[in-house]
A and B are shown apart, each in its own frame.
Chain A
């Protein structure tokens, strides 16, 4: 059997040091602190890839399966990287007949991402959602908490450009 080596070379080193420091400060039972450690790790790395989960498991002396079991149980932990902005395009009937599918298509094109997967620049995660109950504003999309109504394909370019700009500025 091939030995499965833990490869963490893709993880940012300074962030790993932060995580190590956090774990080193734990005084009580390490298993009890697992959820807090995972919250901290996700804060540092943005999400919890498998090698990071295995690293946490090793440091806390827990089976990787236990850590993965906890990560997948709670909805706030994510195993997929998420963009800075989550764009949710409503696919309710009203939005759909008003061309939400074309809006979605254009957004995916402009952000260069696949549905549900983070864009390469780390700025966007684009997904379709069930009716958000704002049919009078169809087509509707939300970016993080902000709601955009009556979004035509022609409006998409402006909106995305604006977020790309502010996203880069903050970096």
Chain B
């Protein structure tokens, strides 16, 4: 069926049943994290049992994208009760079907247990979900991404229909400008203004490009949107194309995301079949289509000029701006490059109005931001929060506090381009300007919680190892500078550094920030400089070689249980049963195995 007008789209939507049309709706997460713990087998099994019972009249099984609580995966959500089952295995399927689906009894042992509230029966009561607000991830985990009907029922393609039937390009641009939406890929440039630049260029051809080259280690916001709600991206790109005067769109996706490409291709085909891509969309005379371009493994391609060169089949090296892509981009034509999450906000802004969007967030940062929350924190997963929320709220309320016995020390935001936020700044509102004021940045959405056991110098070294490896090599400050910084860090952690190394690190870092050609180099020193500012003692301990590198045992606390001795991978712990144990500090590799098994907290960390 081809949709040729807003009217026919609405008629179709009217006829479709809601996603939750049966007595029970069982949402089964098939996001990347759940899939890696075999949620596809689980879904298959559930489907078989529901069919065999038969329970098909009462239970609707929906295979969804990411439901965000990845630490609990594989996750099942049951509506209307709002029950969430976590870490579900194949063995649990029978009990869920027999007890819950047939008799309505909750399987308590699969519920999430809150340290304070105990067993949680409804997602409404979970700290993890309570403070979140979904705009970009509105449909993610709530629809089957393979069924366009689900998307249509959630007001899908309505915003595109309205834009094409009732608005001019300039009017769409004005709405996005009024909404205050800023680029979610890290730069934070106002999206409406970016669109306006391209609209004002006159050219026989223009392009709209989606940057899906999500490269930060540990971040998977964009991937979840592409896999869990691909039609939102397609609709948003079509709106952006109309607003900027483009007729062709490209999604540049990293080749590592091979599994995301399949549902995306299927969604593109579906959209074409129903007339949301192709010629004369909604009978408006506007033509638009989308092609996928594959990357081949290069972090720098997340930078927009490098991305465009890679799309052209070349080495993904950045070039100086200006000219900006809006002036001379892909094939030398005016092009707009937006990130996946930025796009995912567009249809909602058009549907609910710019005032609605601007009512969420802070003065200079409107709407929400999606973060991939991970590290030493209890609740791990994707979180979408209103701008202006504090780190305290994310770490302790949504994240549920530290995962181990140690308190939280800091949060790393923005991955290899970002920096650390120390505890005294945990009440800082998370928005572009407040983060800027404390010398940090929003980044694309990585958020790693670190507890007292984390070694900040090692962490800085980890990120620098990544950026110096990914530096494209075109400009010297980045190519040589990051390498030299890494060598200094390596020397320090090997206890071969000197105090002057700290000044060298700072000087190199500041020069690389100033002199590098693109964002990769300009931001590469951030993880080092921010830890150097926040934790100078840790650097000093390495530079003056006073850092203890071995674990030790508190003789007063040790009961001689032999647990540490048994787990030590290098056999450097001596001691008889019921006698105090001793660690040979010269042989200790500081792996921490003894520390985590000691029942008496008798092990002293270096």
A contact set with B: CB distance below 8 Å: 29, 31-36, 38-39, 66, 69-70, 73-77, 92-95, 97-98, 135-138
B313–A73 CB distance below 8 A:
no
Alpha-carbon distance between A136 and B312 when the two chains are bound, in angstroms: 47
CB-CB under 8 A for A70 and B313, given A75-B297, A94-B570, A135-B593: yes
CB distance from B130 to the nearest CB of A (A): 33
Give the chain A neighbours of B295 by CB distance below 8 A: 35, 74
Alpha-carbon distance between A70 and B592 when the two chains are bound, in angstroms: 43
A69–B315 CB distance below 8 A:
yes
B294–A35 CB distance below 8 A:
yes
- List residues of B (544-578) whose CB comes within 8 Å of A's CBs: 567, 569-570
B311–A73 CB distance below 8 A:
no
Alpha-carbon distance between A77 and B312 when the two chains are bound, in angstroms: 17
Give the chain B neighbours of A31 by CB distance below 8 A: 312-314
Give A138's nearest chain B residue, CB to CB.
B569
Alpha-carbon distance between A95 and B589 when the two chains are bound, in angstroms: 10
Using a Cβ cutoff of 8 Å, how many contacts connect chains A and B?
72
Asked if B591 is an interface residue, CB under 8 A from chain A, the answer is: yes
Give the chain A neighbours of B293 by CB distance below 8 A: 35-36
Give the chain B neighbours of A35 by CB distance below 8 A: 293-296, 310, 313
Alpha-carbon distance between A85 and B352 when the two chains are bound, in angstroms: 52
Task: Report which of A69, A76, A94 forms a contact with B297, defined as CB distance below 8 A.
Answer: A76
Asked if B347 is an interface residue, CB under 8 A from chain A, the answer is: no
Give the chain B neighbours of A98 by CB distance below 8 A: 569-570
Give the chain B neighbours of A75 by CB distance below 8 A: 296-298
Q: List 12 A-B contacts (CB under 8 A).
A: A31-B313, A34-B314, A35-B293, A35-B296, A35-B310, A38-B296, A39-B294, A73-B317, A74-B297, A94-B569, A97-B589, A98-B570
Asked if B93 is an interface residue, CB under 8 A from chain A, the answer is: no
Give the chain A neighbours of B310 by CB distance below 8 A: 35
CB distance from A56 to the nearest CB of B (A): 11
Alpha-carbon distance between A94 and B569 when the two chains are bound, in angstroms: 6
The majority secondary structure among interface residues of chain A is helix
Alpha-carbon distance between A107 and B295 when the two chains are bound, in angstroms: 34
- List residues of B (272-320) whose CB comes within 8 Å of A's CBs: 293-298, 310-317
Alpha-carbon distance between A60 and B314 when the two chains are bound, in angstroms: 13
B570–A36 CB distance below 8 A:
no
Given contacts A39-B296, A76-B256, 7 further A-B contacts (CB under 8 A): A35-B296, A35-B310, A69-B315, A70-B313, A97-B569, A136-B569, A136-B591
Asked if B46 is an interface residue, CB under 8 A from chain A, the answer is: no
A135–B472 CB distance below 8 A:
no
A73–B298 CB distance below 8 A:
yes
Task: Report which of A33, A39, A66, A136 forms a contact with B593, defined as CB distance below 8 A.
Answer: A136
B589–A76 CB distance below 8 A:
no
Give A92's nearest chain B residue, CB to CB.
B589
Give the chain B neighbours of A136 by CB distance below 8 A: 567, 569, 591, 593
Task: Report which of B294, B296, B570, B592 forms a contact with A97, defined as CB distance below 8 A.
Answer: B570
CB distance from B366 to the nearest CB of A (A): 36
B591–A135 CB distance below 8 A:
yes
Give the chain A neighbours of B569 by CB distance below 8 A: 94-95, 97-98, 135-138
CB distance from A141 to the nearest CB of B (A): 14
B593–A74 CB distance below 8 A:
no
Give the chain B neighbours of A34 by CB distance below 8 A: 313-314
Give the chain A neighbours of B315 by CB distance below 8 A: 69-70, 73
Give the chain B neighbours of A38 by CB distance below 8 A: 296
Alpha-carbon distance between A127 and B310 when the two chains are bound, in angstroms: 30
Alpha-carbon distance between A70 and B591 when the two chains are bound, in angstroms: 40
B313–A33 CB distance below 8 A:
yes
Give the chain A neighbours of B587 by CB distance below 8 A: 97
Alpha-carbon distance between A69 and B294 when the two chains are bound, in angstroms: 17
Give the chain B neighbours of A76 by CB distance below 8 A: 255-256, 296-297
Give the chain B neighbours of A32 by CB distance below 8 A: 311-313
A74–B296 CB distance below 8 A:
yes
Alpha-carbon distance between A92 and B295 when the two chains are bound, in angstroms: 32
Give A130's nearest chain B residue, CB to CB.
B465
Alpha-carbon distance between A76 and B254 when the two chains are bound, in angstroms: 10
Give the chain B neighbours of A29 by CB distance below 8 A: 313
Shortest beta-carbon contacts, A-B, top 5: A74-B296, A135-B591, A34-B313, A76-B297, A75-B297
